[in-house]
Homo-oligomer: A and B are copies of this chain.
Amino acid sequence: MTERYDRLLAALREVALVNSVYFVVEWDEQVMMPPGGASHRAEQKAWLARTAHTRQTSAEFGDTLSEAEREQAGAADDSEERAVLRQARRAYDRAVKLPGALVEEITRTTAHAHHAWVEARKHNDPAKFAPWLAKIVALKQQQAACLAKPGQAAYDVLVDEFEPGETTAHLDEIFGALRAPLVELVGRVMGSGRTVPGELLARDFPVDAQEALGREAAQALGYDFTRGRLDVSVHPFSISLGPGDSRITTRYHANRFSDAFFGVLHETGHALYEQGLPGERYGTPLGEAASLGVHESQSRFWENLVGRSRSFWRYFYPKAQRAFPGTLGDVREDDFVAAVNVIRPSEIRVESDEATYNLHILLRYELEQALMSGDLKADDVPAAWSDKLHGLLGVRPATDDRGCLQDVHWSGGSLGYFPTYTLGNLFSAQLFEAAGRDLGDLDASFARGEFAPLREWLREKVHRHGQRYQPQELITLATGAPPSVEPLLAHLRRKAHEYYGV
């Protein structure tokens, strides 16, 4: 008997359909929309968010869910049905606690705030964005108040929204286990006296050739361009507009190789996950990514574990040389590989190396908690940001557009999102270790340009399950051990040793 359960699936698909229209409108806004469209676009998004919320919280939906639960009461704990019901119940219980007007207000505010952030960043003027940040924090506090379980801190509510089951207590443990080793590792690298020729990535890289090379790399990793596309946006992102339409974006600078190239690999990793989800389950929890942390594990996997490996460049460096003959023609492969593995404290998260990256996340994690608790005011963010970066990495942002204005997330209301990046880093290193155990010599296949076995391994272990398992459980099943900081630290220590002799 699956009549009620099937009805639930249909109802879930209807909500997903509305959300998918929102994603079309969102993609267009970020990538295509002329400035004159901003104001009406906010109304379109507010309407769509409200409509999805109304459907998701209707009495009819609630009844359908309850009836499906009764019908499937006997389903096994590890069954698909149980997973669907768990996720649907979780989403419904959260949605009904949020007033539609608040959902609409958050959507409208962040639509406007995004453009304010773009302007503030362009003019290096955090005061232009501060009132929007203050408003967004207030709205997120309201949202958290609606959703909080007794005794749950506001920031914990937000974290759990992006990463089901995650808590600040657990994140504190993780960051606690990462902080000292990373600071120490970066210190040793800095003290090694060894320099890596990172400046060769700041030479002349014509944008057209960057775009062509990025496209070639995405295709080599398995990104299907008949079910996606690559464009330019202020802040790179990946998004699915429906099954069969998973898009990625990047941004180009004519004298920076890494931003766009590794950005494309990163977003390709996200898109491979989306393209690997079971299309026939689209719109149900079994056709959706497990969590943002797991999503980020896929992007960092291809960006870092694969894309910065020596063996990847054994295959790909000749292509890069052909793309930039004047710039890379006389650069040795070894020097190039060392350059893409440079470790050096810097201001910009998305340009930072694998070792310092999680310290950038730690900074945001702590500032977000302070914003949500009220200990930090929006106006004081620029100074706090600078101080904290200095404390962690010994550098200060030269300007605020390279400091607190560098990231898109807060303008979109995504407070509590950043920690999922560090979770993704942990998961990616752990998955890569496990894949190596299962598949044998990955380096040999990378050097031949063979990425399909690895991609299929991820499909099998991660993608095809959708939300069948909770994130931590999924990683445990895929790798044979619960998530841990050790694989990442081991990976980084190997790198430090290989490139800096420390």
Contacts and interface: CB of A to CB of B under 8 A. Distances in A.
Interface of A: 17-18, 20-21, 24-25, 27-28, 32-41, 43-44, 47-48, 51, 224-229, 241-245, 247, 282
A24 B225 CA distance: 22
A20 B36 contact: no
A471 to B, nearest CB: 26
Contacts of A226: 34-36
Contacts of A25: 21, 24-25
Contacts of A242: 37, 40-41, 43-44
Given A32-B32, A33-B241, A37-B242, 5 more contacts: A17-B43, A24-B28, A28-B28, A37-B227, A44-B242
B36 A244 contact: yes
Nearest to A33: B245
Given A24-B44, A44-B20, A47-B17, A37 B241 contact: yes
Given A20-B44, A21-B47, A34 B243 contact: no
Contacts of A48: 21
Contacts of A228: 34, 36
A439 to B, nearest CB: 28
A153 B118 CA distance: 55
A80 B40 CA distance: 24
24 contacts: A17-B43, A17-B47, A18-B47, A20-B40, A20-B44, A21-B25, A24-B28, A25-B25, A28-B241, A33-B245, A34-B226, A34-B247, A35-B226, A35-B227, A36-B226, A36-B244, A37-B241, A37-B242, A38-B244, A40-B241, A40-B242, A40-B245, A44-B242, A51-B51
Contacts of A241: 28, 33, 37, 40
A229 B32 CA distance: 8
Contacts of A32: 32, 229
A5 to B, nearest CB: 21
* Number of chain copies forming the complex: 2
A224 B36 contact: yes
Contacts of A28: 24, 27-28, 241
Contact of A244 (B18, B39, B44, B243): B39
Nearest to A35: B226
A241 B36 CA distance: 11
Contacts of A41: 242, 245
A361 to B, nearest CB: 32
Contacts of A39: 243-244
A48 B228 CA distance: 23
Given A227-B34, A229-B34, A243 B44 contact: no
A318 to B, nearest CB: 29
A392 B42 CA distance: 51
A32 B224 CA distance: 15
Contacts of A34: 225-229, 244-245, 247
Nearest to A18: B47
A267 B88 CA distance: 47
Which 10 A-B pairs rank lowest in CB-CB distance, beginning with the nearest?
Answer: A37-B245, A36-B227, A36-B244, A40-B242, A35-B226, A21-B44, A37-B244, A36-B226, A24-B25, A34-B229
A415 B47 CA distance: 32
A241 B34 CA distance: 10
Contacts of A27: 28
A228 B227 CA distance: 27
A53 B21 CA distance: 17
A293 B277 CA distance: 47
A33 B27 CA distance: 11
Contacts of A38: 244
A35 B244 CA distance: 8
Contacts of A18: 47
Nearest to A39: B244
A82 B176 CA distance: 70
Nearest to A242: B40
A245 B48 CA distance: 19
A172 B222 CA distance: 58
Contacts of A44: 17, 20-21, 24, 242
A51 to B, nearest CB: 8
A316 to B, nearest CB: 24
Nearest to A51: B51
Contact of A245 (B36, B47, B244, B245): B36
A278 to B, nearest CB: 14
